[in-house]
Structure formats: structure tokens, C-alpha cells
Structure 1
Amino acid sequence: MRPFELPDFYLVHPARLNPHVEGARAHSTLWARQMGMLDDTRDPSTPEIWDADELAAMDYALLCAYTHPDCVPAELDLITDWYVWVFYFDDHFLEVYKKPRDREGAGAYLDRLCSFMGPEPPEPENAAERGLADLWARTVPAMSEHWRARFVESTQNLLRESLWELANISEARVPNPVEYIEKRRAVGGAPWSACLVEHTVGAEVPPGMAGSRPLRVLRDAFSDGVHLRNDIFSYQRETETEGEVNNAVLVVERFLGVGPRRAAEIVNDLLTSRLRQFENTALTEVPPLFEDHAATPAERAAVAAYVKGLQDWQSGGHEWHLRSSRYMNEGAGGGAPLGLGMALSRAAAVLEAATPSPLIVPYRKVGPVRMPEFTMPYRARVNPHIERACRNVIDWCGAMGMYGPVARHPEPLWTPALLSGFDLATCAASLAPDATADHLDLGTQWLAWGTYGDDYFPKTFLRDRDLPGARMFVARIPLFMPPDLGPTPPPLSPVETGLADLWRRTAASMPPGGRERFRSAVERMVRSWLWELHHHLQDRVPDPVDHLEMRRFTFGPDLTLGLARIGTEDRLPPEISGAAAMRAVENAAMDYGTLVNDVFSYQKEIEFEGERTNAVLAVEHLLGCGRDEAVAIVADLTTSRLRQFERAVAGDLPALAEEYRLDGEARQALDGYVTRLWDWMAGILKWHRETRRYPEPDLLARYPHHHGERLVLPGPNGLGTSATRVRLTHPV
């Protein structure tokens, strides 16, 4: 019995079929036989994986012909061989290592397989090794060193993260939604597919743009779309016959406590959201990226070809899932027609049935949120120098000009009394309970600077919908953090005045590497405020995945954790700070803090400030649920991220220390940093419970123009100015 009927999928780009598919079928079957992947040619010590009939039924040539509809025959043959190899690896790994739960053997196997992408590969001993050695030699000569590095990374991730899947299966552990999305990008292979798209279309992503937010989001949204769709189609096979626990439908089932049918609907809604994120990024973020990088016509054409290639892959991959014997696809598409030439009719049917995302009512009445019981087993400690920090931060903000009028605001944004109510010293004293008095002063003033900037930016640029002014503001920020501590230009706002002062006092004691990382953290935080403005200008609630990942910057945890690293960076190898296990620990801690903030700030942001970027709102928007249910879901997610943090600290970090053979001093530094992360999470929660930044009575006093259901906005009034006061009437 089928666990659910396949939903109607959002897909606006009809699939097209490469006319050279038959040649690729014949070639890939011959190649698989030559590599020893078929049962009649396999090593006798290898379990049966495929025979020729099974390979034909799975039809990877059809997959590649749909996902790469325009490439020439030789290129289609090469790409098809890559997909035969990757699916063979997946099925072989399942039989040989996943089912027997052989984690030690799997690790050795993967290490050796990765060596075939190195400068001196060994002699291949099995079908997977022979296939990779052959494909590597046929693929990389045509590409740049930059592309090769990215392709090696994505291929190694695809291979090595299989151990994560194996560990979950061995422990019968279903991951939490955030962990799953992030890990699935690596093990699912779609970033690897995106690299092959560049090869197929003959256009590499320019190195200077490859790490930018727009290109990263395009790749990640593409990857999530591929993986979420695959999880819906493969749910029955994976859960009923393979004992798999790494599937998005199952993840949603367990996290939300719903049945498979409802879970599949939610995964499909998230899939739709990710595809719309891809479209939004391509249309609204890529063009400004070209201007920022002064991209040449050739570079613009390369990115356009890459985007089109990803769109082709998304549509073609869906079409193949409807036909391959690997998946639950009988009756797929809700009765829509199958067959050559029918893709357009199915896309039209989905578009006709699709409802647009709900529009937003700015400043709608949401009322105070009843706070959930957030899980926090770690007691917040308070620095004994808190009183001094409280006095000094009030004086420092005055010296930086934060109590005076600024451009566009005749009334000051802050007063000493308002800042005192925010109680930022309590926050800093809990984040750094063991800091010296001077270090605590510095940390408190950084928090004040970031909080003032977080108020200044929207009140200046969101209010006036001033994107050019906001971009100019962001572009000036690096000028006040000279790496050599040299001169800075005259400041134009208290934000710039405060940054210039804090940078000199902070960076002087940092090693060069730590100084550059901290500078980047500040830049990323301020640049992320443009992302918030971007959604405000579109009246758009962000995609939930994009929201969570960007909140790691907008809330400023990267900055405050950078302060926590001071004193430990020179005792930890750089490989540790950049290791995937360390990033996973930090991301889990960051997500805990940002999600807590989104619950506490929900009324302030939605009702009093007309904001769009809040996790509670994003959950409401995705699931079509009410405020209280969304709050409960976000609170559950904080618990999941906390448990993942604990799990990683208990298992992944000790393994990392063993891998890099850390000495006693380095291990002590690593343990100390973990303690600071605990302090950070506990301190964030403590501060939110005590600050007067979010309770309704304080909001009413702070926003005197707020009158019940509507906000009296400053700005033009009278005949001909109605366009500046648009009110959208559809409920969220």
C-alpha cells in the first residue's frame, strides 16, 4: 500500500529531452560493465548490486537527458557515466556498509575513494574506484583550478557525509529538520550536480562571485529542491525496504508528530518555498551582484547559463522521478498526463492549482506572546563587573552621539533611560561571565553598537524604502575597520563613530587571522541588514530555510561569538576553527539564540515595526497555522538545536580533537570555547527574560504613534500620496 499520494509539485519550467538519449543508454551500459558494476562482471567478493536489466530500468541516461537537454553526445555520455557511478556508490554503500552497520570499514573505504581525486591516486581495486579514476581523468582537464577545488569539496562531502547517514541508521536516530537540510546538501549530492552543470553548459561561475550570497543561495535552494523532491518520491522504498531514517518526510513526521500524508504535504510546501527562493534570488539579487562586481558580458552570460542549467536540472530531475523504477511514482502528478510532450500540460495544471503566497498586513495586531518554557539545562552565570559595565555603556553611547538627533530623525532614537531598560550589561555579563572588567566593557559596548545599528538601519532605510542609501551605508562600514588600524574617514552617523572606536580597542589585541575573521563577522552582520530591507521592499515573508541561515548574521551571533574566541584562537589550529564539526556546533548554538530572539521579539517586529523577517511568522506562513502553534514549533526547534549541540560536543568534537591530535593546551582551549558557547546560549535566554526591549508596556511607551490596530506613519499625506501608504488586506 502506498503511504500517501504524490502531491502536485510546483514546477514552472517544463522538462525537455536531449535527443541523444539512446546513445547515452548504450554507452553507459557498456561503461558500467567495463567498470565491473554489473553482476556479470563484478568482483566475486562484492555483493550483488545491479544487473543489466535493473540498470536499464533505473535509466540514468534518461535522467541526464532530461537534466541536460542541450549538451552534445560526448558530454551527455560523460555526465551519464557520472550519475551511474554516483548511484552505484550509493547502492553499494547501502549493501556493504549501511546494512551491516560497519562504520569502521566505511571510513576506510571512503578515505581511499577520496584519494582518487588527489595528485597521486592508487591503483583502483573495485568498481567504485575504477569508475571514479576514469571519470576524474575525463572531466577535470577542461576546467579551471577553482572549479576543480569546488568539485573535489562537493564530491568528498557526498562521500564522507555518508558516515553521518550510517551513524543515524545505526542509532535509529531521526535528525532534526535544520540538521537534516544542512547535512542532506552534502550527502545528497546536489551541490556536486551543480558543479557538473557548469561543465555541461561550458560556463564556470566566476571565482569572485562563487562565494557571494546570491550564488550560494541559488546553489543551496537548487540542492534543497532536488533533495526534498527525491525524499517524497523515495519515502516508501527507503523506510519500508532499506531501513533508512534520513528522509525529509520522516523528519517532519517525527518533529511535528503528524502522519506520512501530512508530512509529505509539508515537505512539498517547503520544496515550493525553496524553488520560489531560487526564482526570487535569480531575478532580484543576481542583477545587483553583476553591478557590484563590475561583471563582464562573458561573466554575466556564464552565470545566466548556469542558472538556466540549474532550472533544466530541476525540471528534468522531476520528469525522471516520474519514470524511474527506483521510486514510488505510479499515478504520479495527481492524474496528470505522462508521456513525451506532456510536461508543459502538467506544469500548467500545477500553476492553475497553485495559490499565491498570502500577502502581508503590516503592523497587524498580534498581541503579547505567551512565552514557552525554553529548554536550557545550563545555568547562566553573571560577571561580577556588571555594575561598572552598565554605567560605562551609558556614558559611552552618549560620547558616540547615540542620544542626539540624526539625519531624517529630529527626535533621538535612544535615550539613557531607554538604554538602561534594554539592560545590555546583563546580556554581556552573562555571555562572558569570566571576562575582565575592561573586556566586559568592550563586550557590552559592542552589544550596544549592534543594537543601536539594528534600530538605526530600519528606522532610516526601511521607513523610506531607501535601498541606494542603505547600500551606501553598508559599503562604508569596512572603512572604519582598517586591518592595519590606520586612519578612518570622518563618521556620518553614531554607527560609524562607535565602530571606529570599538575596532581600535578590539583589534589591537587580536592576531592577524583573528582580526580578519572578526572584521568579516561585523561586515556580514551589517550586510545582512540589506537582506531584511530586501524583503521589506517586496512585502515578502522569507523562505524558512533562508530566514534561519541569514539570522545567523542579522542577529549578530557571529560577532559576539567572535568576541568569545578572543584568547583561544592562537591556541587552536586553524583547521579546528574551520572544521565542519566546529561549524555544526556553532550553528546549533547560534540557531538557539536567534530562535529565542524571534519568539521574544515577535510582537515588537510584527505589530510595532511592520517587519517581515521573523521565524514565528515564517512558520505561520509555511504551515498556514496560527501564532500560538507557530511559537510552539519554534520553541521545539530551539530544543532540537540544543540537543544537537550537546550531541556534537559529546561526540563530534572529541573525535575532531583525536583526528588533529590536539595537545593538552589545545584541548583545554577547545573545552573553554565550548563553555563559552554554553554561556552564550544561557546568557541570551536570561537577557531576553529580563530586558525591557520586548514587553508590550515598554513597546507602547517607545512607539507613541501606535494606536491599536494601525500605526500612524510619518511621511507624506494628502492628495496624490496614497501610494506611499499601501495597505495590503489579505491575512497572513
Structure 2
Amino acid sequence: MPEPGPSPLQSSLPGAAARFGAHVLGTAQAAASGGPPAPPVLPGLPAGPGLPFPSPSAAPPTTAAPPTTAAPPTTAAPPTTAAPPTAPAPPAPSAALRRLLSGPSGLGTEGLHPARRGESAAPEAAPEPGAPAAGNPIPGLYYHPVPEPDPVRVEEVSRRIKAWAVDEVDLFPEDWEKQFDGFQVGRYMVACHPDAPTIEHLMVATRLMVAENAVDDVYCEDHGGSPIGLGGRLLLAHTAIDPLHTTKEYEPQWARSLQSDAPRRAYSSAMEYFLAQASPSQADRYRHDMARLHLGYLAEAAWSQTEYVPEVWEYLAMRQFNNFRPCPTITDTVGGYELPADLHAQAPMQRVIALAGNATTIVNDLYSYTKELAAPGRHMNLPVVIADREGTSDKEGYLKAVEVHNDLMHAFEAEAAALAAACPVPSVLRFLRGVAVWLDGNHYWHQTNTYRYSLPDFW
């Protein structure tokens, strides 16, 4: 079928980006001539009042703080019929914010816009926000509505990922098919990566997402997973991502092991496709993020085995590792460009990425709350840990977890905007925008996937 074009871009970067500075002409000229610009030294982020986290070193924006998109209603309809909370119309974006949302511009940056290749290079306005998506948004949760993802792309990605799962890696038995379809991974990934230049770029993210969930389900949770022996299973699966280098005598046995169960088959195949698109530094970044994820799995499993309920800060530390970070940090690979390793490694960028991963993972805790309560055993999530450790009711623990998420989101947005102003390099700006869009798409998927999620009756 014809290759569907990229979807319109959205972003959650707020009005704080109004102080975004002009590109340095020398950097643009260097990019145009093919020479790499010298990596900027990004400022530190000293602590300051007004945020629950260290505030950006850049001067505060003159615009007001980002408006809360969804305010808690005074009364609530049952969760199954609740309409998305109404929100005030967002303020008109400033010229600087429109520039950031539409991506880098100037000499040497045309190639960073796959959607604009072959079109006029005239400046673009920021895309108009679409109608709020259907579903059950959590009252009081700070989020950004996004337009429905491109249905042509959704259909094609869904078709390809099902064929890959069934025909290439034999991922699941027939009686799991309904659950696989209900995950709606095609809609998920198209919403999170609207700037992907081709379907195959989208498939890179989609295969990795499905493989990661197979490991989580089969090794850890829903489909026979257990904390007992998890470390050994995860280590062997990790070698499908970070390959074993051993002697000729033992290498064939390891290679055969990669086909021994569905999670390892999925990891191995998805990684092979990823390496065809990613640079060596992007691949190494992903391996590092997956090691973080597996470390978080092990901490949660250890607490489960010992029946330990962590302190709230301990739980949040675990969730900084056991979270979605590997997904938004490949946004440049999926977008067909690269954030250079030296810029990715800068401390302010690492902080922005960590805040993004933490915020988007608490979204999962909140939307999966009733699903986990209905499952066998006791599942730890942020509302449960807050209620246990701080002696609150279930409802109070849940609403406090909403506040934690909102604080994380505000901190992410403020520091992403400060980083954009401090380091206006085209790949940095596009990467920050891609991470912000991923957060919005992730919320959209949780909000609208009523096959998997429903809300507690707390309003």
C-alpha cells in the first residue's frame, strides 16, 4: 500500500518556552556546511523555590505558569461514562513557542523535517490542537489532549505488528490473541511518534514496545511471571539486546537460547530491526536504558518476595528505573535523525529525560490502578504505597499520586523549556519536542484504552 505521510506534530512544551533564544548563526552555518558544531556546555540547575525539584538556571518566563488542562470537578459521573473534563482554551502560542513546536529552522535544518521535504521552506505555524480524544481522563490530572492518530498509519502498523508477532517470533498462543489486539499498540505508537518519516520507522518502536511487554508479562507479571528466579531470566534475555561475546565453543549454545522462549525471540528480532535504523551511539543508549529497566524489575521483585512496602521516595526511586524511559529516548531513531551522544549525556538533558520517564510511568500507575487491584496478589503502585506509608485512605492516596504526577509534569516542562533556551541546537530542540509528544501520546493511549483500563470511583 502507499506509504502514509507523517501525522501533524503536537507538543506539550508550555509557554515557558517563550524565552527561547535565536539560533546561533555560527552553529547554523556549521550545520549547513556539514561541519559539526562544538557541543555547548549546558548550565547547571541550582535548587530554588517554587518547584518541587531544582529550578532551571534560566530566568523565569514572563508568561504565567502552564494552565492545568483538566481540573477536578466538584461532582463526577461514574467512570465508565465520564466525559473529559472541560478545560479553558489554551493561550495563543508566542512566536518563540511556535518556533519551538514547529522544530528547528534556518540554514542547514531543512533535512530535519521529513514532512516538509519537497515543500516550501516558508515558516510554519504551530498545529492547531484537535478535539479532545474520547475516553475517561482522570479528573485533576495535568495532561495535554492530542488529535486522534492518523488512522491509515494505525491500521498499517497494527497489521504489520500482528504479522511480526504471529509469523516471525511466535509471540503468543491463540488464546492470548484478544489481549494482544486489545493492547492497541499500533494506535499507541502512531500517537507517540507523529514525526516518524515512514511506517518502518514506526515499526522499530512498535516491535521494541511489544517485546518489552512480553518480557514484563511472561517473566514478571500477568502470564506466569514470578519474582522467583527473575534475575536469571532477565539476564539471559538481556543478552538478546547486549550480545554475549564468548568462546567459539559456547557461542552456538547462547545463539540457540535466543529462540528458546517468546520474550527472547521478541527481544532478539526487535533489536535486529532496531540496529538497521539506529546509529551505534543510539543502540548503546537503548541498551543502557534497558539495563535500567531490568534493574527496576529486580528491585520490585525483591520487595515482592520479602513483602516489603517501600517508603514513597523508595518507590519513586524504583520507578525511575522500572519505567517507560527506553521508549521516549529512541524518539530520534524513530524520527530518522540523531541527538548526538555528547548532548544526550549532558546533565540537564539527563534530568529532563528522567523527569519525563517518571511522569509518564505514574500515568500508568494511575490508569492501571483498578486493573491491578483486580489481579491476584498485591500489586504495588504509587497510590497503594502512599496510602500504606502515609496512613491515608485509598482515595486520598490516589489523589496524592495525581499531585505527584502533576508536579513531575510541571518540572519536566519547565526544565525542557529552559534547556531549549540554553541549547538551541536543532537536534536538541527536535528531541525535546519528541519526548514531550511521546508523553502526550502515552497519556492519550492510557486514557482511551478502555479495554485495559477503567477509573476508580473516587469522584
TM-score normalised by structure 2 residue count? 0.63
**Contact 1:481–1:503 at 8 Å: present in 2 too?**
yes
Q: 1:676 aligns with which of 415, 419, 434?
A: 434
| 3-state SS, counterpart of residue 489 of structure 1 | helix
Contact 2:193 2:438 in 1 (8 A): yes
Contact 1:596–1:638 (Cα < 8 Å) also in 2: yes
1:687 matched to 2:445: yes
Given the superposition, is the C-alpha separation of residues 569 and 586 from structure 1 closer, same or farther in structure 2, using an over 3 Å criterion? farther
What CA distance in whole angstroms lies between the structure 1 residues aligned with 2:261 and 2:244?
Answer: 23
Q: What is residue 399 of structure 2 aligned with on the other side? A: 632
| In 2: Cα distance, 1:379 partner to 1:476 partner | 39
Question: What are the superposed Cα offsets for residues 577-616 of structure 1, whole Å, 9 maximum, x if unpaired?
Answer: 1112112211221122111110111122233142443111
Letter paired with 2:389: L
Give the 3 Å change call, closer, same or farther, for CA 696–645 of structure 1 in structure 2: closer
Letter in 2 for 1:687: W
2:205 to 423, 443, 456: 443
Match of 1:95 in 2: none
Cα 1:521–1:572 shift into 2, 3 Å: closer
Distance 1:425-1:684 versus aligned 2 partners, 3 A rule = same
- Would you say the 8 A contact 2:182–2:452 is kept in 1? no
- 1:543 is aligned to 311
Deviations 1:339-362 (A, max 9, x none): xxxxxxxxxxxxxxxxxxxxxxxx
Question: Does residue 10 of structure 2 align to residue 164 of structure 1?
Answer: no
Task: Please give the alpha-carbon distance, in whole angstroms, between the structure 1 residues aligned to 2:410 and 2:335.
Answer: 25
Task: Report the CA distance between 1:484 and its aligned residue.
Answer: 9.8
Aligned match for 1:574, one of 341, 344, 354: 341
- CA deviations 1:130-171 (Å, max 9, x no partner) are xxxxxxxxxxxxxxxxxxxxxxxxxxxxxx96x723xx2xxx
| TM-score when normalising by structure 1 | 0.41
C-alpha distance in structure 1 between counterparts of 2:242 and 2:399, whole Å: 44
Task: Say if 1:422 and 1:692, in contact at 8 Å, map to a contact too.
Answer: no
Query: What CA distance in whole angstroms lies between the structure 1 residues aligned with 2:158 and 2:321?
Result: 26
Give the drift of 1:415. Answer: 2.0
Counterpart amino acid of residue 371 in structure 2: K
Residue identity in the other structure for 1:688:
H
Structure 1 pair 570–599 and aligned structure 2 pair: CA distance change class (3 A): closer
SS at match of 1:542: coil
Alignment match, 2:275: 507
Give the number of the structure with larger relative contact order, counting CA–CA contacts within 8 Å between residues 6 or more apart: 2
Structure 1 counterpart SS, 2:325: helix
Equivalent residue letter for 1:478 = H
2:50 is paired with a residue of what secondary structure?
coil
1:586–1:465 Cα change, 3 Å: closer
Asked if the contact 1:378/1:682 (under 8 Å) is kept, the reply is yes
- The verdict on how the C-alpha distance between 1:381 and 1:551 changes in structure 2, with shifts beyond 3 A counting, is farther
Q: Distance in 2 between matches of 1:631 and 1:599?
A: 7
- Helix, strand or coil: the match of 1:508? helix
Are the aligned partners of 2:367 and 2:454 in contact in 1 as well (CA < 8 Å)? no
Change (3 A) 1:562 1:627: same
Q: Shift of the alpha carbon at 1:569?
A: 9.8
CA distance in 1, matches of 2:154, 2:354: 28
Number of matched residues? 322
Change in CA separation of 1:693 and 1:591 when aligned onto 2, cut-off 3 Å: farther
Mapped partners of 1:449, 1:572: distance in 2:
24
Look at both structures and tell me which one has the larger radius of gyration over its CA atoms. Answer: 1
Q: Which amino acid aligns with 1:531?
A: A
Distance in 2 of aligned mates of 1:481 and 1:574: 19
Instruction: Tell me, in whole angstroms, the C-alpha distance in 1 between the residues paired with 2:144 and 2:296.
Output: 31
Instruction: Pick from 407, 410, 416 the counterpart of residue 643 of structure 1.
Output: 410
Aligned equivalents of 2:203, 2:335: Cα separation in 1: 19
Report the Cα offset of residue 693 of structure 1.
Answer: 5.0
> Would you tell me which structure has more helix in proportion to its own residues?
1
What's the CA shift for 1:445?
2.1
Q: Residue deviations 1:34-68, cap 9 Å, x none? A: xxxxxxxxxxxxxxxxxxxxxxxxxxxxxxxxxxx
Change (3 A) 1:484 1:509: farther
Q: Structure 1 stretch 522-531 or stretch 423-432: which is displaced more?
A: 522-531
Deviation track 1:89-118 (CA, whole Å, cap 9, x = no partner) reads: xxxxxxxxxxxxxxxxxxxxxxxxxxxxxx
Q: Which residue of 2 aligns with 1:472?
A: 232
Deviation, structure 1 residue 381? 6.0
Q: Which amino acid aligns with 1:441?
A: M
1:539/1:403 CA distance change after superposition, 3 Å: same
Structure 1 residue 511: Cα displacement: 2.1
Which residue in the other structure is 1:209 paired with? none
Q: Which residue of 2 is the match for residue 401 of structure 1?
A: 170
**Deviation of residue 395 (structure 1)?**
2.1
Deviation at 1:692, TM superposition (A): 4.0
TM superposition shift of 1:696: 5.8
5+ residue gaps, structure 1, are 1-159, 184-368, 405-411, 698-732
**Cα separation, 2, equivalents of 1:545 and 1:626:** 19
1:516 to 284, 287, 291: 284
**What does 1:475-494 align with in structure 2 at a 5 Å threshold?**
475-482=235-242, 488-490=255-257, 491-494=259-262
Q: CA RMSD in A?
A: 3.0
